[in-house]
Each structure stands twice: as structure tokens, then as C-alpha cells.
Structure 1
Amino acid sequence: MSETALSLSGIEKTYNRGKTGAVHVLSGVDLTLKRGEVVALVAPSGAGKSTLLHIAGLLDTPDEGHVSVAGQELTGTGDARRTAARRAEIGFVYQFHHLLPEFTAAENIVLPQLANGAAWAEAEARAKELLGTVGMDHRADHRPSALSGGEQQRVAFCRALANAPALLLADEPTGNLDPTTSDTVFAALMSLVRETGLAALIATHNLELASRMDRVLHLDGGRLTERGRSGAS
């Protein structure tokens, strides 16, 4: 098992905006995430944060550079291999939970495991274990509409970790929540990450939450810089 969950090297990405010309979104970005670390990504609006997350998550391809996930070099590989790596090695969490409304909390966590080849009993046990980690085991049989916003997002975290990925990518995961709920949900996320030992890259505008992570990376002008390290645990 590779201790490096994500490696980006020399990542370049440019978009052609027609009459306005080319926009250089990422310029020589290098990034390495080790298993067990939680890293904040802070960026002004339009700086390329989502583009960087999409490239790291194999949803987009760079114009130049190399992408490796869990020790697999995936630069220039076909859709089938990228999809398989994404399903097995990467978990995604967004600002909105995107849970399937017709399924219960537990079933929302079971489904990605079935898609990855797990048996139902195994997947169900894993779902209940993850829900218990975030204090949601008593809500396993509730559908998303019966859950609060914070509960929905905690289920979304569990779903993202259902297949025991090496890497978690989160885009403003507490952005829709009030401060108190945000703290509760963030604590649940950190607990899950620490329990499973995966690497997490979390984009956030919340500088207080960012300061509680292991590293804080700033993306601006197409370049990634590190500004300080916290003692968060």
C-alpha cells in the first residue's frame, strides 16, 4: 500500500474564453498528500479551486503534468481505468449532500459498495459501522428528508468513505450549515478521517476550520503555496 494518497506534479490547466482569450487557471501546481493527513485548500472565488479538486479526483484532465492516486500513475489513462480508480480510491463530499431521497441513510452508504462489488451483508455492516462513528447509527433507517442538514451531511461523509478510499476530496462541506452545526459536522469528518487513516483535501472559506487541519494550502494566481501549519489533531 502506497503511503502517498495523492501526487500532483507540474499541473497546468488553461481554459479558452473565446474573445476574452486564454485563462491560465493552474500553473505548475505540485501537491503531495500522505495517508493520515488533513489538508485545507483556501482560495478566492474563481481561483481554480474546483478545477484542482476535479483534476485530483480524476473528473478532469490537466493540459500538462502528472496525477497519481494511491500509488497509481493515472496520467493519460482511459476512462475505464480512471472510473475504476475513482470508485475504489477516492471519496467526494460537496456543499450539498446529494443523497438519494428514495433510500435510507444506510442504503445510501450501501449502494456505492455494491457498485464496487461488495456483497449486501458486508456493505450493510460497513454502513452501520460508519454511521456509528459519526453518532448516526440510530438514524440508519431514516430517509434524507427526515434528517437535519447536519445529519444529511454526516451521512454524505459516510457514503464518501464507504469503499475505504485512500483519498477524500471535500468542496466546502460545511458551507450550507450554521456555525454550531458546522462545528459538529467538521468534528465528525475529522473523526472519520482519523479513524480510517486516509488523506483528505478540504476546500473551505472558513479560516477557523482551516486552522484546525494539519496544513493550509492557498491557491491564487494559478499557484499553490503553504502558509503555516496547525497543530490540529
Structure 2
Amino acid sequence: MSDFTLQVADLTKTYNAGKPNEVRVLQGVSLNVKPGEVVALVAPSGAGKSTLLHIAGLLDTPDHGTVQIEGTDMTRLSDRKRTAVRRSTVGFIYQFHHLLPEFSALENIVLPQLANGRSEHAAEKHAMALLDRVGIAARAGHRPAALSGGEQQRVAFCRALANEPALLLADEPTGNLDPDTSDQVFAALMSLVRDTGLAAVIATHNLELAARMDRQVRLNGGVLETA
């Protein structure tokens, strides 16, 4: 077993290669993240942080370089195996919650567990425990439209952690919230991450939030630097 949950090495990614509008998004990016470590990925919009997160989370592939999760090289896995790893080992959080509108908060957290083979009873019990941990168990039966923005995002956090992943990747998880709500929701996220001991990479342009994480890295001109 590797000492690191996530290891990306020498990643490169270019869009429209060889064309006049070619964009070199990543140029030799490497990053290691240990279990229990929360890393802030700081970069302005358009700098490539979403691309890096998508490659690290097996949603996209690099032109060159490797991605290892828990010591296993994911770079050459089949699409089917990559999907299985994403479902069981990687949790994603985005700026917008992307909850299923026709299902309740509880059901949104139960569904990914059912897809991963957990029984309905166990999935509901685990979902309620997660909602309780972020302080909105009383809202379990409400659909997303009946929840506030902060509540919606807390449900999204719980959904991302429903299958107890080893790695959490978050792309501006509080970027769509007002400052007060953002602070409260970020505190809930950090509490969840600390309780579970998973490795996390959280992209943000909010330097105050970044300072509350274990360390910061900055994506600048396609190169990753210590912030």
C-alpha cells in the first residue's frame, strides 16, 4: 500500500493541439496527497484546476503522465474499471450541488450507495448519520427546491461521502454561496473530512478558506507551485 492516497506525476494536457487556438492547460504537474491531508488548490478561473481535478478523479485522461490512487496506476485502466473506482473510491463536490430534483435529500444520498451494492436499510441509516453530522437531519425528507443554498450544498457533501471514498475532490465547493453561508458550509465540510480521515484536494480562489487547509498549492501557467 502506498503512503499516498493520490499521486499524479508529470501530467500534461493540451486542448486543440497543433491548432492556432492551442491551449496548454497542464505542463508537467505532479502532486502527492496523504490520507487525512487536505490540500488547497488555488488558481483563478480558467487556470486549469478543474482539468486537474477531472484527471485526478478519472473523469478525463492526460496526454502524458500517470495517476495513482492508493498505490494503483489508474492511467491504463478500462473505462469500466475507472467507473468502478470512481464509484467506490473517489468523491466529487462541485460549485453547484447537482442534486436530483425529484428525490429528497435522504434519497439523493441513498442512491449512490445502492448503486455501489449497499442494502437500502444500511444506505438510509448511513445517509441519516451523514445528514445529522452536518446539522440538517431534520431536512432529510425535503427535495432540493425546498432547501436553502447552504443546505443543498451540505447534502451534496454527504452524497460525495456516501460510499466512504478514500479521496475527495472538490471544485469551488462554496463558490456559489454568500460569505457567511460559505464559512458555515466550509466548516461542515472540513468536519466531515476530518472525521473520515480521507485525502482531499479542494480547489478555491478564496484565500481565507485555503489558509484553513493543511497546505496550499497554486496552479500558474499550467505548472503547480507551492503557494
Are the aligned partners of 1:5 and 1:35 in contact in 2 as well (CA < 8 Å)? yes
| Percent of pairs with identical residues | 70
Deviation at 1:3, TM superposition (A): 4.3
Counterpart of 1:175 in structure 2 is 175
Deviation at 1:24, TM superposition (A): 1.6
- For the residues of structure 2 that align with 1:17 and 1:205, how far apart are their CA atoms? 28
TM-score if structure 1 supplies the norm length? 0.94
SS at match of 2:162: coil
Counterpart of 1:91 in structure 2 is 91
Residue 212 of structure 2 is aligned to residue 215 of structure 1: no
Distance 1:147 1:3, change over 3 A: farther
- For the residues of structure 2 that align with 1:151 and 1:54, how far apart are their CA atoms? 25
- For the residues of structure 2 that align with 1:81 and 1:17, how far apart are their CA atoms? 28
- For the residues of structure 1 that align with 2:203 and 2:84, how far apart are their CA atoms? 24
Residue identity in the other structure for 1:122: A
Are the aligned partners of 1:43 and 1:218 in contact in 2 as well (CA < 8 Å)? yes
SS at match of 1:20: coil
Deviation at 1:33, TM superposition (A): 0.6
Residue 155 of structure 2 is aligned to residue 155 of structure 1: yes
Deviation at 1:44, TM superposition (A): 2.1
Deviation at 1:143, TM superposition (A): 1.0
Residue identity in the other structure for 1:191: S
- For the residues of structure 2 that align with 1:122 and 1:3, how far apart are their CA atoms? 31
The two structures, once aligned, show a CA RMSD in angstroms of 1.2
Deviation at 1:71, TM superposition (A): 2.2
Deviation at 1:76, TM superposition (A): 1.5
Give structure 2 stretches of 5+ with no counterpart. none
Counterpart of 2:73 in structure 1 is 73
Give structure 1 stretches of 5+ with no counterpart. 228-233
Distance 1:166 1:141, change over 3 A: same
Deviation at 1:82, TM superposition (A): 0.3
Residue identity in the other structure for 2:103: F
- For the residues of structure 1 that align with 2:13 and 2:76, how far apart are their CA atoms? 14
Counterpart of 1:51 in structure 2 is 51
Are the aligned partners of 1:70 and 1:89 in contact in 2 as well (CA < 8 Å)? no
Deviation at 1:4, TM superposition (A): 1.8
1:185-207 Cα distance to aligned partner (Å, 9 max, x none): 00000000000110111111111
Residue identity in the other structure for 1:24: R
Q: How many residue pairs were aligned?
A: 227
Q: Which runs of 4+ in 1 moved over 2 A?
A: none
Distance 1:17 1:30, change over 3 A: closer
